[in-house]
Structure 1
């Protein structure tokens, strides 16, 4: 079943079931009609990725989907699946699964953290800058233009799909994808919303081997095999998934070109949602994906954020997640947060994190403060590029688990950006954003408002030149080391 009229699947004042397909967990939660979480209506299934010495990082597809279905069972058992009038999905971008002739999985789910790849020889006539401007992506292992040739080198696939496509197929019986999810594959022509001919040629695949792209107004319905399992969901419209970055922006309150949303979860990103029509020319250092049929999201991502915070608090055995007693911008230690490498177009490999200026006077709190400051300065690099792109200093909203975990980090980001920030009070920004995209909602941050403190701003400003010099040295050293 599918409907493509603009009004299909509106919440109609009822409740919304949101499925959030993350890398470390999958969650099902119930939202009110305004996309606020219903207290207690949350079920979570933890995901354990399998890692290997050769760069492997895989997710078990069967375990993932069965875990998600188990979350729905839990909500059902607790009486939370009544009065549901819409089902929405937020999903990790970039994942891929190779499929056989019958559509069965030949491989586990390959998420963005997997580093295995093969080289591409496209000749001197290939213009990667024009390719990037058209697709919003680079020829990097994150994207299907590199993933598919690598998968062909290890198996004999007949087709390919992403994790959200296969979840949607399990629920509805239809294997389709959204323009948002397709944009994260690096094979989408951003302007027309269809697969890009050159990207398909680079990947060595035909469009019919990939899931068809459905319009934003498309809805599916729950397969009849689940009618007895979740009777309250029968006939409820299921909306196409939204990529988690786009969903997080909208869910934080950053849904137009006046506002940059800074999301700090396991990794971090700074992004701006804007109309796809007459979009500003994309700089080489930023990516661009789609939110829906009318909007794009442009930004920069960073591999070290909440994962860095969690690692350091564990390694140092800190009782508090805060660098207690350390003033923002005051630490003599400079941390270059390349522990997990960098995202494209930079090519710094994982294991390149550096601490400069250590002395016997430094405490665990100094190291934590330096790490959070380094991550803040990295995010600020992306924010400044977006300021330039959109021709003005952007308003900023902060959201995500890392933001929620540390008041010191919120203040540090505000001082580093040297502008006021608003904090999103809702931690489930992806689920909230998926509901907002599907149903046309415009949520507000709803949290605290922070003003930059002049003394903190000055200390960070004085710190910045030293940080940039040492960052350049770290990039050079990591490049030289990778060539040994």
Structure 2
């Protein structure tokens, strides 16, 4: 007589991924391939142009609600531990009693432009990038603290500790205030050579090391606080592994941690990242270097304008006609346009840009526009503008290691044009996967490794239900590769001819084609 397989696991690990727009709490079965995903969304406020703020209490509530839902779904299963991943570069100022004195200032906030300019004018920006691994940019907590010190001196003086989003969430779970090495490495304040706070960066921020949390490894484990256990239904003392930032855990959760593999994600924004032994101290200027675990570090670049750029163009084209799925149809039409969009070039800097130039002052532009161009040309040229930035990041990673494939995730890749364009521009195969819970899976895998439940990070990921399945692989089409080599040269020439008359940067070549 056969026995029906169990419908629920007896042992689970939980991954918590606190993102910019939503929190995903995912329970992974360890004895059967089973998952439960709890998702909560929250708003971002924009009280001034360029400001991006969130309520720390709302983010914490989202985590607690997600955990409570998962506890209800797992029944009597044993929870071996929790792993935590959060969005990077956020900043919160806490009072001595732990009360937030500021909102969460997110990675997208650009209020600290003047502070970044001061760092660049001082000539210290390259040294800070080399030492900390974080490019000098308004996204970094270093620049944000400088802004508060200069513009809100009374508020800044009242802050007992400046913390990131990870520290805030882990404090709510464990009542302990510590900073994981990964979050420290994205702050612009870490001395990567020593693993301590960088004295020069602290001087620029105008604070001492005592006003930042102690740094702990990403494998550091703490017991769940009794109060949190009562709220969520989890057992008191459940191990909470502090984990890494959502970029590094995203690579782990999508199995993009092996030599020669670059993980590319394109959602609202975009990023290309590879996992290398590190930290990489001789870092190309356009790249960041953030910790994952042990001696593994994630090197790459992030673009503020990803799928949101093509979506903006589609919305602009269809303001008067919003019947059906405009974006899907527009991207399908863009896929029929020849590579290079018949001489149309888009600089997709609708939001202040990050990689590869880390210059928030360069505006977006449409170049080479002619009467024969259609809306489909404009959409494709925008896709190409985003993809060529990612290709520039890939080229810089290639300076550090041989690259053989790209593993791509994100909603943008539902449209084949994204995969085909990226494959041709990078001249690499692009394996598109469906990964709805990549960073949460990475956080859970890191927790298993930290708690001795897995011998390696890769083993930790293998123990979990796949967060991804291969959807399609795009090989670089030879004709497209050739067309894009010609397109790059034409883009640089067009930009150089137009830059001086209309006052764009320099006039020496297209900035979004920089390598």
The TM tier, using the shorter chain, reads 0.7 to 0.9
Structure 1 residue aligned with 2:313: 312
Segment drifting more, 469-478 vs 130-139: 469-478
Q: Indicate if the aligned counterparts of 1:144 and 1:203 stay in contact, CA closer than 8 A.
A: no
Q: Residue 197 of structure 1 aligns with which residue?
A: 199
Q: Partner of 2:513 in structure 1?
A: none
Alpha carbons of structure 1 residues 298 and 407: separation in structure 2 relative to 1, 3 Å: same
Task: After TM superposition, list the pairs within 5 Å mapping 1:14-33 onto structure 2.
Answer: 14-33=11-30
Gaps of 5+ in 1: 1-11
Q: Identify the residue that residue 207 of structure 1 maps to in structure 2.
A: 209
Matches within 5 A, 1:66-465: 66-79=61-74, 82-117=77-112, 118-119=114-115, 127-152=124-149, 153-154=151-152, 155=155, 156=157, 157-276=159-278, 279=280, 281-317=282-318, 318=326, 320=328, 322-324=331-333, 326-327=336-337, 329-332=339-342, 333-343=344-354, 346=357, 348-349=359-360, 352-390=363-401, 392-403=402-413, 405-438=414-447, 439=449, 440-442=456-458, 443=461, 446-447=469-470, 448-465=472-489
Deviations 1:131-172 (A, max 9, x none): 221111233322222211212231132221111111110111
**Structure 1 stretch displaced more, 204-213 or 255-264:** 255-264
Q: SS of 2:239's equivalent?
A: coil
Q: CA deviation at 1:208?
A: 1.8
Deviations 1:444-466 (A, max 9, x none): 86413332222222222221112
Residues 54 and 272 (structure 1), Cα distance of their counterparts in 2 relative to 1, 3 Å cut: same
2:393 and 2:25 map into 1 onto residues whose CA distance is 32
1:348 Cα deviation (Å)? 4.1
Partner SS for 1:114: coil
TM-score (norm: length of structure 2)? 0.82
Looking at structure 2, the residues matched to 170 and 373 of structure 1 have their Cα atoms a distance apart, in angstroms, of 42
* Residue aligned with 2:310, SS: helix
**How many Å separate the matches in 1 of 2:256 and 2:32?**
15
User: Helix, strand or coil for the counterpart of 2:173?
Assistant: helix
Distance 1:344 1:457 in 2: 23
Separation in structure 1 between the aligned mates of residue 419 and residue 75 of structure 2, nearest angstrom: 34
Deviation of the 1:395 alpha carbon? 2.7
Give the deviation of 1:311 after TM superposition.
2.2
8 Å Cα contact 2:140/2:187 also seen in 1: yes
Unmatched segments (≥5 aa) in structure 2? 1-8, 319-325, 450-455, 463-467, 507-515
Q: Given that residues 270 and 301 in structure 1 are in contact (C-alpha distance below 8 angstroms), is that contact kept between their aligned partners in structure 2?
A: yes
1:3 maps to what in 2?
none
- Judged with a 3 Å threshold, the aligned counterparts in structure 2 of structure 1 residues 330 and 276 are, in CA distance, closer, same or farther, namely closer
CA–CA separation in structure 2 for the residues paired with 1:127 and 1:407: 43
Return 439-448 or 381-390, whichever deviates more. Answer: 439-448
1:123–1:314 distance in 2 versus 1, CA, 3 Å: closer
Could you tell me the TM-score, scaled by structure 1's length? Answer: 0.87
CA-CA distance at 1:219 after TM superposition = 0.7
Q: Distance between the aligned counterparts of 1:252 and 1:110, measured in 2?
A: 28
Number of matched residues? 464
Match of 1:51 in 2: 46
Which structure features the higher share of helix residues? 2
Shift of 1:379: 0.7
Q: CA deviation at 1:345?
A: 7.1
CA apart distance, 1:87: 0.7
Higher mean C-alpha deviation, range 229-238 or range 181-190 = 229-238
Computed over aligned residues only, the root mean square deviation of the Cα atoms, in angstroms, reads 2.8
> Quick check: 1:323–1:366 contact (8 Å CA) kept in 2?
no
Residue 124 of structure 1 deviates from its aligned partner by 8.6
After superposition, give the CA deviation of every residue in 1:222-250 in whole Å (9 maximum; x if it has no partner): 11113333334433211113111111122
